[in-house]
Amino acid sequence: MYEEGMIKTPEGVELFHIKDIPENPKAMIVLVHGLAEHCGRYDYVVQKLNEFGYGVYRFDNRGHGRSNGKRGYLDDFQKFIDDADLFVERAKEENPGLPLFMLGHSMGGFITAGYGAKYPDKLKGQIFSGPVIIELPIFDALKEMDVEKEPEAPVPNSLSQLICRDQQVVTDYENDPLVLKETTLKLLTTVFIDGVAWLAENLKNYSYPCLILHGGDDQIVDKASSEYLYENISLEDKTLKIYENFYHEILNEAEKDRVLSDIQNWVDERI
């Protein structure tokens, strides 16, 4: 079953979402995309997850893709985390009794980790792809800027050549009309400075079984981010896997089926 539509947040922002459910699903996954992209870039991932027997709920973060909200803007990182909860609740309500997981890539990995720290006891586990957990050197300059003076100052999306070793993926990304060509100073600071600082303080509350996956040659989010997450989670059911030579988008690399198989095996062992 394929279904798409809009869901409204309590403050009235409409979020675009897609639901893909195979026959007789054995688990559900809420998928959270990264900065400047949108959930439509995960069609292949969702196709494979459906083949594994998992239903998938995915959505465009506010200000991204086909969701409402000021383009590339956010004034409070908690809104991203709370938006994800809308889809967790929808998935739970529509699929009572089925185990539910969350899969987050990059900034979506930050949202996923933040969700884990803020909303315990709702999921069976979480999966991370190149998550942003610590401050990134590429955003060091943000700390020197007067964000409140120009919160909507545009910041170009200039890292496309580093997302993947597959040049076709890069070309498709650059030509995708739904991929943001720029974000804003406020979004970047509230997530990548304020958000990661909050996460560092609150990781002690994180208690979900988790699978942490990262590209060994990721030049956007260093693998140290995933290593930090792994080392600072207190529970025993945690797995860290680094894919040598992979760039940032491990789910788009030529060897993506290997990554998806690892996800399948991990999920199947927990349902």
**Catalytic member of 218, 222, 225, 226:** 218
| 218 belongs to the catalytic site | yes
Q: pTM for the complete prediction?
A: 0.97
Tell me the pLDDT band of 139, cut-offs 50, 70 and 90: confident
| 176 belongs to the catalytic site | no
Q: Which amino acid is at 86?
A: L
pLDDT of the residue at 177: 98
Token pair, residue 66, equals: 């086909």
Q: Model confidence over 36-59: pLDDT tens digits?
A: 999 999 999 999 999 999 999 999
pLDDT of the residue at 225: 97
pLDDT of the residue at 126: 98
239-257 burial: b if 16+ Cβ within 10 Å, else e: ebebbeebbbbbbbbeebe
pLDDT of the residue at 140: 80
| Closest C-alpha among 229, 242, 239 to residue 209 | 239
pLDDT of the residue at 243: 98
Rg of the chain in Å (alpha carbons): 17
User: Please, what is the average pLDDT of the chain?
Assistant: 96
Res. 30: pLDDT tops 80:
yes
In the sheet that holds 100-105, the strands lie side by side as 2-8, 14-20, 54-59, 27-32, 100-105, 125-129, 210-215, 238-243
Ordered by start, the domain boundaries in the chain are 2-268
Q: Model confidence over 179-189: pLDDT tens digits?
A: 999 999 999 99
**Catalytic member of 60, 105, 106, 129:** 106
pLDDT of the residue at 143: 77
CA dist list (Å): 83 to 61, 205, 241: 8, 20, 28
Whether residue 133 contacts residue 218, with contact meaning beta carbons closer than 8 Å, is answered with no
Under CATH, which number does the domain 2-268 receive? 3.40.50.1820
| Closest C-alpha among 28, 24, 63 to residue 49 | 28
Token pair, residue 166, equals: 């597959």
**Catalytic member of 33, 38, 105, 248:** 248
Tell me the pLDDT band of 165, cut-offs 50, 70 and 90: very high
Token pair, residue 16, equals: 């675009």
| Closest C-alpha among 3, 15, 55 to residue 31 | 55
Q: Model confidence over 71-124: pLDDT tens digits?
A: 999 999 999 999 999 999 999 999 999 999 999 999 999 999 999 999 999 999
Using CA of residue 26, residue 32, residue 34, residue 38, what is the dihedral sign?
Answer: positive
Three-state secondary structure call for residue 182: strand
Q: Model confidence over 236-255: pLDDT tens digits?
A: 999 999 999 999 999 999 99
End-to-end CA distance of the chain: 22
| 83 belongs to the catalytic site | no
Specify the DSSP element, H or E, that contains 74: none
Res. 146: pLDDT tops 80:
no
Res. 222: pLDDT tops 80:
yes
